[in-house]
Amino acid sequence: MSDTSKIEIRALRKSFGSNEVLKNISLDVAKGGVVALIGPSGSGKSTLLRCVNLLVTPDGGSVRVGDTRFQFGEGAKLPDVKTLARFRATTGMVFQHFNLFPHMTTLQNVMEGPVTVRRMARADAEKLARAQLAKVGLAEKADQYPATLSGGQKQRVAIARALAMEPDVMLFDEATSALDPELVGEVLAVMQRLASEGMTMVIVTHEIAFAREVADRLIFMRDGVVVEEGPARQVIDNPQEAATRAFLSHFH
């Protein structure tokens, strides 16, 4: 699989103080693949996602996205700030809370990364930003401020902002968990379209039906270990581990 995998995590370890949060995690995401990551609160899902784009520095193991590989642990040299910034720009991350800049319009929010990180000319960045806003169905909201948008619209702007960095992979950390139920669908629809267009994605979610529909692989984590992994439908419809069954039973 490693020939075609876009993301390759090997023997990843992370502790916060004496709290061992990730215990020897390995996973692959195929190019164009969609992996759903599920598990109870506190099992290490967010930490794992943050290790993939190095918002959190692992204690050991390796992270590879595309051709860029980082090794951590004993004797490994930590990447410098510039390398980290360049790497993060290739891994788009969408959080539960949208973190839009309130004093900037929707368009300015989406242009900010291309202008400041990618050093694009403003005219080019604007063109790109408008295209990404159109892609999430918000072309007509370009000049509005975040405060005037619904939660679902804000999250779609956050997705457009990540896409404006033209990332190799997209990481979603409970992107719909903070939304009112009636606004979840519009964000999932954008995610589903991205997946169908071939974006490589890792999705932390409690939307089991969505995971079953959109993800090709599913990983169930608990207490910092991968308990079960396989084709999403297979794991959801026919979980092999008691812990997976117990977790999934909360969603029926």
CB of 123 to Mg ion, least distance (A): 38
Sorted by sequence, the CB contacts under 8 Å of residue 190 that are 6+ apart come out as 135, 136, 137, 156, 159
- The SS3 of residue 213 is helix
CB of 42 to ligand ADP, least distance (A): 4
Q: Which is nearer to ligand ADP, 43 or 105 (CB)?
A: 43
Q: Of 5, 43, 46, 53, which one interacts with Mg ion (CB under 5 A)?
A: 46
Site residues for ligand ADP, 9-38, by CB under 6 A, read: 16, 19, 21
Question: How many helices and strands in the chain, by DSSP H and E?
Answer: 9, 10
How does DSSP classify residue 77? P
* 176 is a site residue for Mg ion (CB under 5 A): no
Please tell me the count of residues contacting ligand ADP according to CB under 6 A.
11
In one-letter notation, the amino acid at residue 154 is K
- Element (H or E) spanning 85, and its range? helix 81-89
* 45 is a site residue for ligand ADP (CB under 6 A): yes
Q: How many CA atoms lie within 13 A of 20 on its CB side?
A: 9
Q: Of 6, 9, 46, 210, which one interacts with ligand ADP (CB under 6 A)?
A: 46
Which one of 46-54, 101-109, 112-120, 207-215 is the stretch in contact with Mg ion (CB under 5 A)?
A: 46-54
Q: Which residues bind Mg ion (CB under 5 A)?
A: 45-46
